[in-house]
Chains A and B, each alone.
Chain A
C-alpha cells in the first residue's frame, strides 16, 4: 500500500483515537486534569488506569470524533499546558513506580499566539529531556498521526509502536510538498519520499513493533495491543531502572549515527 493511502487511513473519520483505545484496553480509567501552572488542555487526556490488572499511567492525545468534541480537543493539537500536564502525570507515575503508556494521535503541536507566548518549544523540550530519564518503563503507541515535535513530546520511550496504518513524520506531507516541491498538490510524492509509514519506520529502526489492524477490525487490533502491552510491560518492569535508562538512551543515541 502506498504511503499516501495509509496517511488517509490514519486521518480517516471514525478511526478510533486515544479515548476509544483507553476504553478498549484499560480498565478503571480515572482522568486527571491540569498542568498546575496555567490550565487544562483537553487535547491531552491522561490519568490512572489498569492494564490486565497492572496499575499504569496512560496519557493520550485525542482529536475528538464529533464536531463539538473536535473543538473541545482542539483537533488534537495540544498547547504547552497539555505537554506540561503530560509531564506532571509522568513524574507522578515515576513517583509511584507505575509504568507509562502514551497514545499518540496528532497532526502536531498547536501553532498559535497563545501557544508561543506560553512556550510551546520550551514545553516540548522539557518533555524530551525528562522522558529520557523517567525511572519507570514507557511505551509509546502511535495510533493514527504522529505529527512532528508534538508527537515526539509523548514518544521518548523504551519502545515505540505503531498501528499498521499509522504514520509518523517530521512534517505533514502537504507542508513538505509546498516547501520542498513548491507545490502542495505533490503531497502524495512527499508522503512517499518522507518515509512516514509504520513499515518504513520499522525498517529505519525508529519503530519497534507494528500492531496489525486486522483489516479494520479494531476490537481485534486492540485485543492484540492489550496482550502485547501486558507482555512487554511485564518484561520492562523486571529490569532495573539503571538498565532501563541505559537502553532507552542507547535506543535514541544510535539513530542517525554515521557508519564510521
Chain B
C-alpha cells in the first residue's frame, strides 16, 4: 500500500493499452530527452538515450511479448466484488473498469512466446495501482490451477501497490490463496517465471512476485515490501543510493537477473524451451 505519488512518476506514456501515434512528444523523466510517441513505440517504450523503461499497460506488454494472435484471455467476464461493502469502493471499481476497459488489475490467459506455449498473467498498474483485490487473487489462482491441469508453465509480470485496502482482510487472504496455487503448480514439476516491473510492492512482493522458480526484473524497477517513503518515515534514516531498485535486489540475492525489455521475448522463450525438456519427466 503505497502512496499514490509512487505511481505518478515517471509518467506513463499510454495508460490504457491502445497505441496512440499522435504527434505528442514527452520528456524522458530519466534524462530529459524529448521523445516522440512514435519513437517510444518503436523502442518498446524504453528511452533510447538513458535506457529508462517506461511503464506499460497490460495490453501494451502483451503486444510486445506474445506471438500475434496467440493470446486467449481467461476470466475477463468475472465481476470484481466488494466483500466489505466498503464506502465508495463500488464506484471506484466502476471508474477503474471503465477507464481501463479491463475487469481487474491483472490480465490472465494463455499465449505463445516465439512459439513456446505458456499460461500468462500481466498486471495493470493503472487499475487501482495494480492493487490485489479478491478478483486479482481469483484470476491468478485459476490461472495456476489451469496451468497445472494443462501442464503448462506460467509467465507472470507484476506491477502493484500491494494489497487493496478497500477489500481489507479479503485482500490479505489472496496472498495465501495465490501462494497455495503457485506451490501446487510447482509441486507438479512445472515452471513459473516471474518478471517484476516498476513498481512491485507490498503484498504482491510478499507473495507471488517472490515465488518464481526464476525471478527477473526490468532495469531500475522499484521492488519493495515496504515503500521507500514508509521506511523513511519509520526509521528517519536516509535511504542508500539505488535502494530497492532491481539492481539492488540482484546484488542482495533476491532476483536471478535483470531483463531489458528488448531482450525479454527471446530470454523468456529460451527459458520456457529449456524447462520444457524437464517437464516431460516431471511429476511421473
Contact = CB atoms under 8 A, between A and B. Distances in A.
Interface of A: 109, 111-113, 115-122, 124-126, 128-130, 132-133, 148-149, 152-153, 156, 168-171, 175-176, 179-180, 193-196, 201, 204, 206, 248-249, 252-253, 255-259
Contact of B226 (A116, A169, A176, A259): A116
Counting contact residues on chain B (CB < 8 A from A), the size range is 35 or more
B166 A111 contact: no
Given A128-B176, A255-B173, A116 B243 contact: yes
Contacts of A149: 163, 172, 175, 202-203, 206-207, 225
16 contacts: A111-B231, A113-B243, A121-B210, A122-B254, A126-B211, A129-B179, A129-B186, A149-B203, A156-B176, A179-B165, A194-B84, A195-B169, A204-B169, A248-B180, A253-B180, A256-B133
Interface stretch (B7-15, B109-117, B233-241, B261-269): B233-241
Contacts of B175: 128, 149, 152
A196 B84 CA distance: 11
A122 B217 CA distance: 14
B209 interface: yes
B142 to A, nearest CB: 10
Contacts of B84: 193-195, 204
A60 B282 CA distance: 37
Name the residue in A115, A116, A119 with the highest tally of chain B Cβ atoms < 10 Å from its Cβ.
A116
Contact of B173 (A125, A126, A256): A256
Nearest to A125: B210
Contacts of A121: 205-206, 209-210, 223-225
- Tell me the dominant secondary structure on chain B's binding face: helix
Given A132-B180, A149-B203, A125 B209 contact: yes
A180 B166 contact: yes
Name the residue in A130, A149, A194, A259 with the highest tally of chain B Cβ atoms < 10 Å from its Cβ.
A149
Contacts of B83: 204, 256
Contacts of A113: 231, 235, 237, 239-240, 243
A129 B179 CA distance: 5
- Tell me the dominant secondary structure on chain A's binding face: helix
Contacts of A129: 179-180, 182-183, 186, 211
B23 interface: no
B274 to A, nearest CB: 23
A194 B168 contact: yes
Nearest to A150: B206
Interface in B125-165: 133-135, 137-138, 141, 163, 165
Interface string B209-253: 111000000000001111000110011010110011000000011
